[in-house]
Amino acid sequence: MAFQASYIITVLASNSYGAPNSLHSSIKLIMPADTFDWDKHFTSSSFSQIQNLSPDLSSRRWPSSFSPDRSLYYFSSIDDFYSTSDAEGLQSALKAAGEGFHSLGPDEHQRRYVYYKDFEQACILLLNLVGSDNDYGLPDVVLKNRDYDQANKI
């Protein structure tokens, strides 16, 4: 999908000596719109290029992600990774993400979201490993109750 971007140039009024006039008003000229293929940009650029160009991504850690073979999962919020078949390790990640979530103030929305998504993913991975006879299928309940050790409820 190509989006059109309009460029706005602000022309400052100047006094008769060529110096900018402090009491000027800006005149905005709309240049002809250019098209930019954002889909092509995102699919053909490396993550590093996109990260460097993004005000949001350039100041954050790597995003949480699976390894290519899905045998490992990197938890961005705790800056650690675990095997997707290691229930004990995933429970450690679950507890660390839950405690991190609760340690943050209510105004730290972005960081809380990253902890929450990692917590939720740990629940999903654990649910796939240990079955459904626990609360891993209800991550909000586990997080609210701070009951991170669901494996003992099997």
Same domain, 66 and 101: yes
Q: Is 11 helix (H, G, I), strand (E, B) or coil?
A: strand
Q: Please give the helix or strand (H or E) that residue 4 lies within, else none.
A: strand 2-5
Do 148 and 74 reside in the same domain of the chain? yes
Residues 8-33: tens digit of each pLDDT = 444 444 444 555 544 444 444 454 45
Residue 81 and residue 18 in one domain: no
Residue 51 belongs to some domain of the structure: no
Residue 13 belongs to domain spanning: 2-44
Q: What is the DSSP letter of 41?
A: H
Based on the structure, what is the number of domains in the chain? 2
CA distances from 136 to 58, 108, 111, 123, 148 (A): 33, 25, 22, 5, 9
Determine if the pTM surpasses 0.85.
Answer: no
Same domain as 66, residue 27: no
Residues 80 and 34 in one domain: no
Residue 92 shares a structural domain with residue 115:
yes
Kindly state whether residue 25 falls inside one of the protein's structural domains: yes
pLDDT in tens, 110-137: 889 999 999 999 999 999 998 776 777 7
Count CA within 13 A, CB hemisphere, residue 129.
Answer: 19
**Together in a domain, 26 and 87:** no
In a domain, 53, yes or no: no
Same-domain pairing of 63 and 100: yes
